[in-house]
Structure 1
Amino acid sequence: MKVAITGIYPESEERIRGGVEAATLRLSQGLARRGDIDVHVVICNAGRAPGITNPEPNLTLHSIGGSKRFGNMLLSIPDRRRIAAYLRKLKPEVVHAHSLDRFALGAIESRLPTVVTIHGIIEMESALETEVSQKVRGAMRNRLVHAALRKARNVILLSPYVAEHYARDLRRANTWTIENPVADSFFAIDEPEERNTVLHAGLLIPRKGIGNLLQAARIARAEVSDIKIRFAGGATIPDYKEEIDRTVSELGLQENVAFLGNLSPAELALEYGKCELMVMVSKQETLPVAIAECMAAGKPVIASPVGGIPYIVRENETGYLVPHGEPEHLAEKIVSLLSNRRLREKMGAAAKAYARERFTMESVCDRTVAVYREIAK
């Protein structure tokens, strides 16, 4: 079966920026390695040189260029036309578009059988932005989202939360719930743990609740003096990173906190191995790939009960759910896990078992191919 995947795609496996790039990469690789799917990834990015490459058998990358300016203001019409025309020339049996934007609209407008995966809820995320430019960009992107929702007839949802949020928009669409895949390597991590180490994996942006975690670390330090909070992820807003640095200094956490920046998958896997637990108390999430990866590594997770998180982080089973803005409550749960190895191991084992059931590349690819075959009839 010939399948085209269109969406953002990393230029290198060692430089993956965010969950959507990780998802398109892992899904493309997993499908190609089955042997019965001929995968063609169509990449529309102005900053990437045009060309065709074959990184591995059954996987072809098509970089087709893209518009350099005013894309969102023009509803990405030039890029949509570029994507649609290329797909018609490629003639796949199915197109799988990732995210409700120019990729989804270009795929749908190619008039080929198309399924769209919704990776995030833009209006929820942009509402939490602190910079005016980001809010404006979010508003323009939201126009693309609703244009795509009106046209989409086959949609993959990462969790029931997305179905609930877009219930009215998806009334006429066929829907399936399939999570993003986690690379097999994350299930095989055996790095020795470092005592009292807590990991936060994700961008350093306001909606991630970084200040809340730092406040909790200060409180937890009264009982765990050598607690270590390691942040794996880059800072995209310089002013916000400066604010975080000031908070670390004001709370006297310089010896307890480390900012690691953007990591390669191999480096991130080492951090999952080192940590005793992961914390992500965001104000808004859809279904973070980082949580799925950490569960695959067999670690308990403390996260906020927002978006799709409660569907995978099960209270008292695979971790704890702590609302954003409750640093005392968060500190209590962090201390309870750091001080109880048996409980950590029990929750970590449950997390890994759930991850094996839902997040392996084989499981996700099998369910995704079933969707392809259904819509290609």
Structure 2
Amino acid sequence: MKICQIGPFPLNASCIQGGVEASVYGLSMELAKTNQVFVIDIPRYEIKSDFIEKNDQITSYRFSAPSQRNFTTIFRLKKIVSIIRVQQPDLCHIHTTSLFSLICYISLKLLHFPCIVTVHGLAHIEKRNVWHKRHSLRNLLKYWGQSITEFLYLSICPILIADTEYVANTIKHYKNQRKIFKMPICKVIPQGVNSDFFQLKKSIERNHLLAVGAINRRKGHLNLIEAMKKVKLQIPDFFLSIVGVVSDGDYYKLIQSTILEYDLENNIKIYPNASFVEIQVLFKKSELFVLHSEEESQGIVFCEAMAAGIPIVATNVGGIPWIVENNVNGLLSDFGDINTFADNVIKLLKNGLIRSEIAKRNRLESFKYDWYFISNEIMNLYKTMI
């Protein structure tokens, strides 16, 4: 089968930026083992001119964006659609629910290409949270714009892939609220994990914690650092590695100043642009994976932690409880409940037996996130559409 994947595709496979990029890359690489796959990357401002990139398995088409404003990517759709028409794929798989993806979907459907969409979380929820925290006309317009785009997109897609039951249930709730006018068929298929995580051999450093996620307010780093201040009172030699691409420069500076304010500079280190190899090293040495997220859909990093055999301390928000079962794969607390979060970290660091039991369980359960099994499920869905 000839398959076109449309979504963010890493410019450098050793430094993947974000869960959606990781998902598009992982799925494309697995499908390419038995199919002909080409990728349409989302236009990027940092690319100055269009180019085609080829390797042994995949051809990826890269496009420049007119500006840093996301909506300007739609102005490249004419060329993108023309390339897809020339390539004549059997099916197009579009990722995310952005304005670019919506117009791309409509354009391809008008040309009678079979299309499937993966909803990697509901982006308007993030925009809403930003608006609630920082009231401004700009944030309000972003929230309204993404909401209209997403609700329209969900209404016109007859079938889509949701990465968790949380997303599927939320879409059903929107139909009941009449925010969308037609309920799509939601196939719940999770995003997968790079196979390297299943092969990691642990070399644990005592009381070493790891947090992986884009450095922005949604990931709750300030709350995490607040919790670490309390952890230090009982476990003064703990060490936390924070890894993530900086997507909010002001927030990054605030994190740095807060670490200094709490006298945690010897306990916390930030890796803003870590390579995949560096991240793997940190997974190997970590006893716990910790993240105080405000909102997540699936959260691939939790699946990666499970594959690496690491117990998890996280928040009970979004799709996390569908991935991390409380007292089974780790410990959960409400977002903003700093005391319980800190207590959960302390409890697991002090109890080696519980850590060991969770670690073994996570290793076993994580194999359901192997791209081999997930890609087979997606391929079966593809076959029903052509």
| TM exceeding 0.5 | yes
Please name the residue that 1:280 is paired with. Answer: 291
C-alpha distance in 1, partners of 2:64/2:250? 32
Please name the residue that 1:299 is paired with. Answer: 310
Tell me, yes or no, if structure 1 residue 99 matches structure 2 residue 110: no
How big is the shift at 1:297?
A: 0.6
Tell me, yes or no, if structure 1 residue 370 matches structure 2 residue 385: no
Question: Match for 2:7: what amino acid?
Answer: G
How big is the shift at 1:3?
A: 0.7
How big is the shift at 1:124?
A: 1.1
After TM superposition, list the pairs within 5 Å mapping 1:9-48 onto structure 2.
9-33=9-33, 35=34, 37-47=35-45, 48=47
Please name the residue that 2:121 is paired with. Answer: 120
Question: Match for 2:104: what amino acid?
Answer: G
Please name the residue that 2:326 is paired with. Answer: 315
Q: Is the 8 A contact 1:82 1:106 kept in 2?
A: no
Q: What SS is found at the alignment partner of 2:234?
A: coil
Structure 1 unaligned spans of 5+: none
Q: What SS is found at the alignment partner of 2:384?
A: helix
Q: Is the 8 A contact 1:160 1:308 kept in 2?
A: yes
C-alpha distance in 1, partners of 2:193/2:82? 32
TM-score (norm 1): 0.92
Q: What SS is found at the alignment partner of 1:321?
A: strand
Q: Is the 8 A contact 1:108 1:114 kept in 2?
A: no
Question: Match for 1:122: what amino acid?
Answer: A
Alpha-carbon spacing, 1:52–1:170, altered in 2? closer, same or farther (3 Å): farther
How big is the shift at 1:181?
A: 1.3
Q: What SS is found at the alignment partner of 2:55?
A: strand
Q: Between 141-150 and 258-267, report the one with greater CA deviation.
A: 141-150
How big is the shift at 1:7?
A: 0.7
Question: Match for 2:118: what amino acid?
Answer: T
Please name the residue that 1:158 is paired with. Answer: 163
C-alpha distance in 2, partners of 1:265/1:309? 23
Please name the residue that 1:224 is paired with. Answer: 235
The structure richer in helix per residue is 2
Question: Match for 1:60: what amino acid?
Answer: T
Q: What SS is found at the alignment partner of 2:241?
A: strand
Q: Is the 8 A contact 2:94 2:117 kept in 1?
A: yes
Structure 2 unaligned spans of 5+: none
Q: What SS is found at the alignment partner of 1:5?
A: strand
After TM superposition, list the pairs within 5 Å mapping 1:62-141 onto structure 2.
62-68=61-67, 72=71, 77-101=74-98, 102-111=100-109, 112-129=113-130, 130=133, 132=136, 133=138, 136-141=141-146
Q: Is the 8 A contact 2:155 2:184 kept in 1?
A: no
Please name the residue that 1:7 is paired with. Answer: 7
How big is the shift at 1:253?
A: 1.2
Q: Between 196-205 and 164-173, report the one with greater CA deviation.
A: 164-173
Q: Is the 8 A contact 1:84 1:107 kept in 2?
A: no
Q: What SS is found at the alignment partner of 1:14?
A: coil
How big is the shift at 1:328?
A: 1.4
C-alpha distance in 2, partners of 1:340/1:70? 48
CA offsets 1:160-219 (integer angstroms, 9 cap, x no match): 111121221384422211111111001111140111011110122112111221121111
Alpha-carbon spacing, 1:119–1:356, altered in 2? closer, same or farther (3 Å): same
C-alpha distance in 1, partners of 2:159/2:206? 47
Q: What SS is found at the alignment partner of 1:3?
A: strand
Q: Is the 8 A contact 1:119 1:286 kept in 2?
A: yes
How big is the shift at 1:65?
A: 4.3
How big is the shift at 1:67?
A: 4.0
Q: What SS is found at the alignment partner of 2:129?
A: coil
Q: What SS is found at the alignment partner of 2:271?
A: strand
Question: Match for 1:145: what amino acid?
Answer: E
Q: Is the 8 A contact 1:95 1:114 kept in 2?
A: yes
Alpha-carbon spacing, 1:316–1:170, altered in 2? closer, same or farther (3 Å): farther
Q: Is the 8 A contact 1:3 1:94 kept in 2?
A: yes
Q: Is the 8 A contact 1:80 1:103 kept in 2?
A: no
Alpha-carbon spacing, 1:214–1:200, altered in 2? closer, same or farther (3 Å): same
After TM superposition, list the pairs within 5 Å mapping 1:161-240 onto structure 2.
161-167=166-172, 168=175, 169=180, 171-240=182-251
CA offsets 1:276-308 (integer angstroms, 9 cap, x no match): 011112111111111111111111111111111
Q: Is the 8 A contact 1:98 1:104 kept in 2?
A: no
C-alpha distance in 2, partners of 1:103/1:207? 23
Question: Match for 1:6: what amino acid?
Answer: I
CA offsets 1:336-377 (integer angstroms, 9 cap, x no match): 1111222112101111212102x101011111101100111x
Q: What SS is found at the alignment partner of 2:366?
A: helix
Question: Match for 2:62: what amino acid?
Answer: S
How big is the shift at 1:69?
A: 6.5
Alpha-carbon spacing, 1:264–1:198, altered in 2? closer, same or farther (3 Å): same
Please name the residue that 1:344 is paired with. Answer: 355
Please name the residue that 1:52 is paired with. Answer: 52
How big is the shift at 1:249?
A: 2.1
CA offsets 1:137-164 (integer angstroms, 9 cap, x no match): 4543443323322321220000011112
